């Protein structure tokens, strides 16, 4: 079975090569090639998963060595793969949800003349993401990490004829490069500290390394995670990335790319466990982003941007859980998987709504769509209930476990984190109820588009609704299945470890508190958007509302601190260069030029002048000699 691991990456990589290099002759059926190869990767993953289930918990890890990438003295970099319970979880999620998104894209991109290229980019993204999660060393992981960045740039800016899409792609690319610097520095520190990049030796040697070095490595890994997973302070790219086609939003912002940071932290758990200061920063970043994204999601009228804020917030839950160490590693990944189901379903549902509404994204121009799009309404509604933590659905099991783990941290820190996670749950219930009410309930509010065409909302084709139905099943049943008999905990514990912590409150108390804040959030949203007519034009709102519409001024902050700061720094460096560096260089040249000009006057070519100089010099030498003798 070890020999099959490479095929996980090879299948979608082959699809990308064929679709991107095959030319227009593949336009008519290229989308089927991309979809079938994505499905082939899922089938290979399923075969490996079944084989893994037949082994003992301590014998499930598989390794495959392909070749030595950089074999030089003192520096060995291999292309080798590791498939254990953690990476297998990601493989099934990436290939399963990825295949459904491929199928959905067949209908969604039906009329796009560049559909073949789009599917090539999707395959490239899957291949890079799979390489990231099955690599057995940090350097090969970095190759997949950069491949995901490239593919996301191509997908976000796919509609490059739109200036906003091209700008969003560049923004995502540049912000992620900042995070990628963190990963590259972490890898350099690992090599200088451990002499290797491989997961096994690095993670096994943390007990022999100083806490300072591990803290530095941990903080650099966190910086990388902030970039890929859109966490504060590198979160600004996520909302703008909605300019890409909706399947891209579902693939990148739900199940794959934004979860890479969570994978990196959990995979590097031994480093963070030995560096409590770095672990604390992870918790702070997760908690801040959890609330940041939720507040932003409350004020967005663009349905995709509201879901983008939600993604930022839910990934914040996962990062916070990962920062709790063995108390939260398992639950971070569990919520990651359930979130992959319901958030992918929500994004695909948003795409279905746009498909039936002439690509309109303003929820204030929807209303009453449940009557026209019943399948979209039901599947989207189930995703909504899952994400707010409705009892019995997936989010109820996974998010509640994170809230319990936050309290289990113990002490004052546990109470603070527990309060933050509960507040996040209340805000989630508010903004997601707002999305449901504005989109599917109330009276219709749609208006003719810019060309005077009146929208005619209708249900999407089966190629789009079937993936939504499958994801809805995951939204309903995945969390309960994972929790039954602690299945998911028992599956991941051999890799991540687990600790129950010391919670000051019982699980029942946490569940009751979660239900209370859920009801409060839903009730406030209903009072504001469900009882009366909704204005098509959003009111001006409070200062906080206006700030949230502008992403809590994150772009303004970046512009003032980074862009303007960079401009001032550049001007200062130019001034120093012109006045100091050039001054020294030019001054030295001018001094030597002036001195040489004056000395040149002594070389006038007249014999009498030279004779006088010689006579004068001789007189000076004789006088000096006589003076020395007299003394």
In this predicted model, what pLDDT tens digit does every residue of 90-139 receive, in sequence order? Answer: 999 999 999 999 999 999 998 899 999 999 999 999 999 999 999 999 99
Which bin fits 368, alpha (ψ -120 to 50), beta or left (φ > 0)? left
Q: How far, in Å, CA of 12 to CA of 35, rounded? A: 9
Q: Which residue has the tokens 């190869």?
A: 37
Give the mean pLDDT of the chain. 92
Other CB atoms within 10 Å distance of the CB of residue 454: 9
Q: How far, in Å, CA of 336 to CA of 97, rounded? A: 13
Mean pLDDT, residues 171-194 taken together: 94
pLDDT of residue 580: 86
CA neighbor of 252 nearest in space, from 241, 263, 266: 241
Q: How far, in Å, CA of 150 to CA of 415, rounded? A: 41
Per-residue buried b or exposed e for 484-497, using 16+ beta carbons within 10 Å of the residue's own CB: eeeebbebbbbbbe
200-220: pLDDT as tens digits: 999 999 988 999 999 999 999
Q: Kindly tell me if the per-residue pLDDT of 358 is higher than 80.
A: yes
pLDDT of residue 79: 94
Cβ-proximal residues to 627 (8 Å cutoff; 6+ apart), any chain? none
Pick the range with the lowest mean pLDDT from 167-171, 245-249, 373-377, 609-613: 609-613
Angle at 132 between CA 16 and CA 36, to 5 degrees: 35
SS3 of 474, please?
helix
CA neighbor of 316 nearest in space, from 425, 176, 180, 408: 425
Q: Kindly tell me if the per-residue pLDDT of 624 is higher than 90.
A: no
367-384: pLDDT as tens digits: 999 999 999 999 999 999
Mean pLDDT, residues 587-595 taken together: 86
Q: How far, in Å, CA of 405 to CA of 403, rounded? A: 5
Query: Contact, 8 vs 44, CB < 8 A?
Result: yes
CA neighbor of 137 nearest in space, from 93, 94, 75: 75
Q: How far, in Å, CA of 122 to CA of 12, rounded? A: 9
Cα–Cα separations (whole angstroms), residue 230 to 54, 200, 421, 519: 37, 28, 18, 29
Question: Number of C-alpha atoms within 13 angstroms, CB side, residue 505?
Answer: 19
Q: How far, in Å, CA of 149 to CA of 65, rounded? A: 25
pLDDT of residue 593: 84
With residues binned 3-state (H G I as helix, E B as strand, rest as coil), the percentages for the chain, rounded to 5, are: 75, 5, 20
Q: Which residue has the tokens 């498909």?
A: 355
pLDDT of residue 536: 86
Query: Contact, 93 vs 394, CB < 8 A?
Result: no
Pick the range with the lowest mean pLDDT from 147-151, 229-233, 416-420, 558-562: 558-562
Q: How far, in Å, CA of 363 to CA of 440, rounded? A: 9
pLDDT exceeding 70 applies to what percent of the chain? 99
Distance of CA 12 to the CA centre of its chain: 21
DSSP state of 82: E
CA neighbor of 129 nearest in space, from 112, 113, 143, 110: 143
**pLDDT-based confidence at residue 254 (cuts at 50, 70, 90):** low
Q: Kindly tell me if the per-residue pLDDT of 586 is higher than 90.
A: no
Q: At what angle do helices 138-156 and 260-267 cross, to 10 degrees?
A: 170
pLDDT of residue 631: 67
370 CB-contact burial (10 Å; exposed 0-12 / middle 13-18 / buried 19+): middle
482-509: pLDDT as tens digits: 999 999 999 999 999 999 888 889 999 9
């Amino acid at each position: 079975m070890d020999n099959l691991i490479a095929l996980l990456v090879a299948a979608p990589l082959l699809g990308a090569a064929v679709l991107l290099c095959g030319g227009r002759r593949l336009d008519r059926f290229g989308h089927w090639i991309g979809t079938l190869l994505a499905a082939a990767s899922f089938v290979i993953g399923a075969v490996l998963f079944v084989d893994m289930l037949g082994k003992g918990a301590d014998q499930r890890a598989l390794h495959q060595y392909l070749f030595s990438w950089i074999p030089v003295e003192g520096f060995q970099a291999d292309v080798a793969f590791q498939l254990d319970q953690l990476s297998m979880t990601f493989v099934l999620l990436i290939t399963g949800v990825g295949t459904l998104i491929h199928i959905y894209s067949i209908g969604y991109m039906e009329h796009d003349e560049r559909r073949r290229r789009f599917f090539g980019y999707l395959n490239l993204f899957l291949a890079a993401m799979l390489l990231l999660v099955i690599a057995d060393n940090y350097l090969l992981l970095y190759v997949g990490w950069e491949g995901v960045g490239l593919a996301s740039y191509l997908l976000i800016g796919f509609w490059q004829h739109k200036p906003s899409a091209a700008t969003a792609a560049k923004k995502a690319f540049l912000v992620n490069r900042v995070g990628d610097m963190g990963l590259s520095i972490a890898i350099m520190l690992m090599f200088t500290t451990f002499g290797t990049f491989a997961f096994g030796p690095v993670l096994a040697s943390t007990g022999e390394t100083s806490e300072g070095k591990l803290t530095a490595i941990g903080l650099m890994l966190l910086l990388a995670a902030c970039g890929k997973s859109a966490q504060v302070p590198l979160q600004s790219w996520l909302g703008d990335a909605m300019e890409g086609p909706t399947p891209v939003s579902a693939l990148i912002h739900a199940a794959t790319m934004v979860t890479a940071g969570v994978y990196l932290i959990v995979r590097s758990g031994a480093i963070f466990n030995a560096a409590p200061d770095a672990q604390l920063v992870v918790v702070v970043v997760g908690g801040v982003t959890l609330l940041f994204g939720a507040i932003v999601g409350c004020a967005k009228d663009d349905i995709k941007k509201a879901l983008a804020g939600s993604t930022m917030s839910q990934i914040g839950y996962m990062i916070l859980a990962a920062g709790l160490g063995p108390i939260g590693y398992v639950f971070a990944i569990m919520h990651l998987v359930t979130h992959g189901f319901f958030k992918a379903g929500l994004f695909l549902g948003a795409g279905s709504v746009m498909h039936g509404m002439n690509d309109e994204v303003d929820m204030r121009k929807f209303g009453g769509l449940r009557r026209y799009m019943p399948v979209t309404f039901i599947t989207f509604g189930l995703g909504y209930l899952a994400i707010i933590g409705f009892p019995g659905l997936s989010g109820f099991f996974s998010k509640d476990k994170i809230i319990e783990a936050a309290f289990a941290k113990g002490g004052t820190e546990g109470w603070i984190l527990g309060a933050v996670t509960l507040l996040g749950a209340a805000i989630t219930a508010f903004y997601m109820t707002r999305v449901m009410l504005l989109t599917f309930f109330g009276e219709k509010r749609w208006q003719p588009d810019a060309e005077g065409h009146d929208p005619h909302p209708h249900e999407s084709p089966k190629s789009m609704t079937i993936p939504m139905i499958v994801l809805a099943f995951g939204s309903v049943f995945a969390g309960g299945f994972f929790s039954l008999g602690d299945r998911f905990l028992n599956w991941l514990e051999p890799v991540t470890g687990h600790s129950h912590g010391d919670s000051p409150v019982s699980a029942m108390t946490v569940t009751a508190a979660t239900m209370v804040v859920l009801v409060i959030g839903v009730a406030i949203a209903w009072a504001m958007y469900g009882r009366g007519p909704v204005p098509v034009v959003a009111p001006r709102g409070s200062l906080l509302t206006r700030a949230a519409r502008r992403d809590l001024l994150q772009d303004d902050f970046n512009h003032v601190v980074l862009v303007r700061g960079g401009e001032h720094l550049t001007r200062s460096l130019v001034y120093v260069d012109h006045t100091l560096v050039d001054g020294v260089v030019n001054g030295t040249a001018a001094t030597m030029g002036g001195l040489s000009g004056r000395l040149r006057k002594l070389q006038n070519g007249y014999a009498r002048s030279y004779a006088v100089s010689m006579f004068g010099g001789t007189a000076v030498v004789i006088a000096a000699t006589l003076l020395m003798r007299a003394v």
